[in-house]
Structure 1
């Protein structure tokens, strides 16, 4: 079974009512990628199906990366694989040593259910972790990429629950590498609009697959959708159709971070 076959099985297992023609679009939305990028996976070009995409898919559709890579049959839930084996052995030995009657299947099942409940509580606690995200530090930029003239720090910091990013399948390198950037133009409309806030993973310093990036190119900062355009070339795409895409040498693009989540700010 190819990985794309497993993707079909996974999406249909989690969304039984989905039209099979919508699967690629659903995966693209889950990973924050273009439909064209996912279509290329199905055409046999899976080299851009990188770790961050696998993590995003596993979180969005509640399964394991191992199954995505090598699994067969129905996709498992993440919780079903989350019991720590050593903890299970230690706890089981303690429970079973107190039994005066022979160990039964029911006794084993009772211990397993107890351990799964404890693991679920631990996972919930992890999901409640708060992350303080500061504004992007423009002082770290080289003089060749100054702060945009129209930049406005309408948000200086933001505290997020870790679950907020997990629910949006936003895999990131390190919480300490996250930063807030306020858009300064409409070049990415209607994906992102002027004065929207985005969370950027500054731990990403190179192109690692199709997606949105904060980049330094030609002495200016941009937020652009990057796609591999050929050997050592990137396509810089502004989602606003009034801006033309550009194909440039990969070496000319300095990646300052990958955009994880957009936070639309609207006047009510």
Structure 2
């Protein structure tokens, strides 16, 4: 039996029904009915709960995919997948055997601040980030417009406020792992040894040895300047999905 959108979002967030009861101040039986799918999730609570669970109001109320309006002629994203399917997707991604237009969303939250952390799986003895879901994009868009191949990109959710207004909590970004050189300047996923952060990277022209400026688009956060040799770039951000 198909699970309710509320149940899918709640389980993925690792929060509980009791957390939602406290958030909304509603009867626990109502939350239980939403979870079981015997009652449709009410629109009046959708925005608040969607933000709390890291999903969208349309998904909770209408069971619409995160980016269902991106191209009405295509199925772009599927429901969250179970562990066995996720592990299979991780293995196919590592072996470069993804289906046409298929892109994996990694089980990692790109911290727009302290950094993100991922669950990991072993594929042929190599430890890689786990997969939380798979997306199906029009192959022509992926290859022609984004100039990327399925196995060279990952999608991750973002969190924090340091890249506001460019990126908001709950947005998804696509990272091109084969595009790591910080020239030209742009937005990149970087690792500081603790987690993943999404930042704007700018070369410090004329510096010797070469330095880079790590910039948060939110003016409340100050930039950092480090040696380019200390910069660990995961990939360039080539696409974002945000809720209007």
TM-score range, shorter chain: 0.3 to 0.5
Q: TM-score, normalised by structure 1?
A: 0.42
Q: TM-score, normalised by structure 2?
A: 0.45
Structure richer in helix, relative to its length:
1
Structure richer in strand, relative to its length:
2
Larger radius of gyration between Structure 1 and Structure 2: 1
